[in-house]
């Protein structure tokens, strides 16, 4: 019988690595603002793109619509985002950060960039280049980039 060693199976390794990195970074936004991962991803998506629909947010962040919905509800409760019904289709809402939401996002941007720099600094220059180009190549082949 052929056995699959998960520890050497690349998809499993990538998942574990992504989860570990996400968990490490989550400590920063959880400590700073008490955000969950979906709330952070929603804040970051809206901060980067401006106005988005919940569907677009889900696609951009690879989150299930229920997670997006909960994150949107929580950020709205905090008064960090507003919902505006679409003029042509009332089922669609356009989500936008408020001044308070934008302020939280702007506070997090340098922290996120510092986290990325510190993460990459754990590697040598060749390893940094290899992981950046390797991830980009896989994203392109899987049409994620």
Tens of pLDDT, residue by residue over 27-44, are: 999 999 999 999 999 999
User: What is the pairing mode between strands 52-53 and 81-85?
Assistant: unpaired
| Mean pLDDT across the chain | 94
Tens of pLDDT, residue by residue over 103-138, are: 999 999 999 999 999 999 999 999 999 999 999 999
CB 68 within 8 A of CB 42: yes
> Which DSSP string corresponds to 48-103?
HHSSEEHHHHHHHHT--HHHHHHHHHHHHHTTSEEEEE-SS-TT-EEEEE-HHHHH
CB 40 within 8 A of CB 29: yes
Residues 76-89 have a mean pLDDT of 94
Residues 58-66 have a mean pLDDT of 91
Model confidence at 145, pLDDT cuts 50, 70, 90, reads low
Model confidence at 90, pLDDT cuts 50, 70, 90, reads confident
**pLDDT surpassing 70 at residue 144:** no
Tell me, what's the pLDDT at 1? Answer: 86
Where does 6-141 sit in CATH, by number? 1.10.10.10
CB 96 within 8 A of CB 84: yes
Tell me, what's the pLDDT at 44? Answer: 96
Q: How far is CA 86 from the centre of its chain?
A: 25
Which H or E element spans position 25? helix 10-33
What b-and-e string marks burial along 41-63, b requiring 16 or more CB atoms within 10 Å of the CB? Answer: bbbbbbbeeeebebeebbebbeb
């Amino acid at each position: 019988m052929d056995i699959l060693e998960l520890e050497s199976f690349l998809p499993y390794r990538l998942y574990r690595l992504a989860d570990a990195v996400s968990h490490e970074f989550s400590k920063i936004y959880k400590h700073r603002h008490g955000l969950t991962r979906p709330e952070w991803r929603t804040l970051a998506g809206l901060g980067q793109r401006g106005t988005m629909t919940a569907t677009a947010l889900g696609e951009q962040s690879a989150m299930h619509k229920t997670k997006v919905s909960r994150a949107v509800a929580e950020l709205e409760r905090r008064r960090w985002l507003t919902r505006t019904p679409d003029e042509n289709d009332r089922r669609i809402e356009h989500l936008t950060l408020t001044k308070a939401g934008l302020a939280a996002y702007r506070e997090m941007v340098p922290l996120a960039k510092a986290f990325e720099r510190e993460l990459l600094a754990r590697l040598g220059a060749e390893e940094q280049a290899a992981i950046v180009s390797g991830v980009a190549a896989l994203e392109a082949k899987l049409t994620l980039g």
